[in-house]
Amino acid sequence: MSFANLKKQSSLGSLTAKLVKEVEKVNNSGGNTDDRLWKPEVDKSGNGYAVLRFLPAPDGEDLPWVKLYSHAFQGPGGWYIENSLTTLGGKDPVTEHNRELWNSGNESDKDVVRKQKRKLSFYANIYVVKDPTNPDNEGKVFLYKFGKKIFDKVMDVMQPEFEDEEPINPFDFWQGANFKLKIVKKDGYWNYDKSEFAAPSPLLDDDDALEALWKKEYSLAAEASADKFKSYEDLEKRLKYVLGQKNAPRPRLDEEVSGEDSGRGSFAPKFNSTVESSIADAITPSSTTSSEDEDDALSYFQKLADE
């Protein structure tokens, strides 16, 4: 763009309109700049709807999903938003700190553990069958990050409770089933209870088209690879800083929100926001269920306490 065009656009106000449009895109996408990720959206009443198809494991990988543990909480020194090394089967400083608190026998310490508990998330490849809010997403392959609530629904159809129910592999191209994602706002949280699988049916009738989709899938193993995690020492240093126990350099904004996802709300930065207020906006109760991973996390700490 030439300087003359820059001045012309300024006089027409087009630059301002363009910036406003970009800000709206950031707000609507939850601050997500990763175009591989699909995220649901809700209307003003808090309702949302989409039809998805979970896809088979990518070529060269065994499972059609990958599990990830993370932590997100605030302390005197700011926010702690990091992936947990327990995902890799290793020790994690937050887990060890929470274990000490849980074993103290004080109910107040257990309340702190509840606030600092692990969050369980999953990644899977999906094909978007219907997305009324963003029709351009339809017919495309995305990564989808979701919580235990939706994963339980997947497990329910794979391992049905009653004998008159046939098990379904929802990740199968031919004998799988579409997933009707239904979101309602309940007590200030997104609730997925009404979500359900449709009757089994082939995703497409063309095997060549299915193979083409399969080749477009993203690696799931890469989402929980070692390079997605900081070292124990770096995490411990950050934890101590957040807990107000030791001074440490402030991380960059992109490091602090590196683990932010749809399960913790929308990250919607504003031009006047400070780093802390932006991160606070990122963790809101608007897009998760309050008990979605409560049982998993607290049972984990109880297990540690019993060892």
Mean pLDDT, to the nearest integer, of 33-39? 91
Q: Model confidence at 187, in pLDDT bands (50, 70, 90)?
A: confident
Task: Report the number of secondary-structure helices (H) and strands (E) in the chain.
Answer: 10, 9
- Mean pLDDT lowest for which of 6-15, 157-166, 196-205, 239-248? 6-15
118 by Cβ neighbours in 10 Å (0-12 / 13-18 / 19+) ranks as buried
- Mean pLDDT lowest for which of 4-13, 65-74, 106-115, 256-265? 256-265
Q: In angstroms, how far is CA 22 from the centroid of its own chain?
A: 22
Residue 75 structure tokens: 């302390």
The closest of 172, 195, 174 to 183, measured between CA atoms, is 195
Q: Model confidence at 66, in pLDDT bands (50, 70, 90)?
A: very high
Mean pLDDT, to the nearest integer, of 266-284? 36
Give the model's pLDDT for residue 139: 97
Please count the CA atoms within 13 angstroms of the CA of 268 that sit on its side-chain side.
Answer: 13
Which residues lie below 8 Å from residue 211, measured CB to CB, with a gap of 6+? none
214 within 8 A of 59, measured Cβ to Cβ: yes
> What number does CATH give the domain 30-306?
3.90.198.10
Question: Alpha-carbon distance 143 to 54, whole Å?
Answer: 10
Question: Alpha-carbon distance 265 to 282, whole Å?
Answer: 6
Question: Over pLDDT 90: what percentage of the chain?
Answer: 65
The closest of 41, 216, 47 to 135, measured between CA atoms, is 41
Average pLDDT, the chain: 81
Q: Is the pLDDT of residue 100 over 80?
A: yes
Give the model's pLDDT for residue 290: 45
Mean pLDDT, to the nearest integer, of 128-135? 96
Please give the DSSP secondary-structure letter assigned to residue 60: T
Q: Is the pLDDT of residue 305 over 80?
A: no
Strands (E), the chain: 37-38, 48-54, 65-75, 78-83, 119-130, 141-147, 179-186, 189-191, 196-197
Taking the domains of the chain in order of start, what are their residue ranges?
30-306
Mean pLDDT, to the nearest integer, of 159-183? 95
Q: In angstroms, how far is CA 128 from the centroid of its own chain?
A: 17
Q: Is the pLDDT of residue 275 over 70?
A: no
Q: Model confidence at 188, in pLDDT bands (50, 70, 90)?
A: confident
- Mean pLDDT lowest for which of 165-174, 187-196, 238-247? 238-247
Residue pLDDT, tens place only, 237-266 = 999 999 998 655 554 444 433 333 333 333
Higher local confidence (pLDDT), 264 or 159: 159
Q: Is the pLDDT of residue 289 over 90?
A: no
Mean pLDDT, to the nearest integer, of 54-69? 97
Mean pLDDT, to the nearest integer, of 157-182? 95
Q: Is the dihedral of CA 88, 93, 94, 99 positive or negative?
A: positive
Backbone angles phi, psi at 28, to 5 degrees: -70, -25
Backbone angles phi, psi at 226, to 5 degrees: -60, -30
Mean pLDDT, to the nearest integer, of 227-231? 96
The residues pairing with 72 across neighbouring beta strands, listed in sequence order, are: 81
Question: Over pLDDT 70: what percentage of the chain?
Answer: 70
Give the model's pLDDT for residue 51: 98
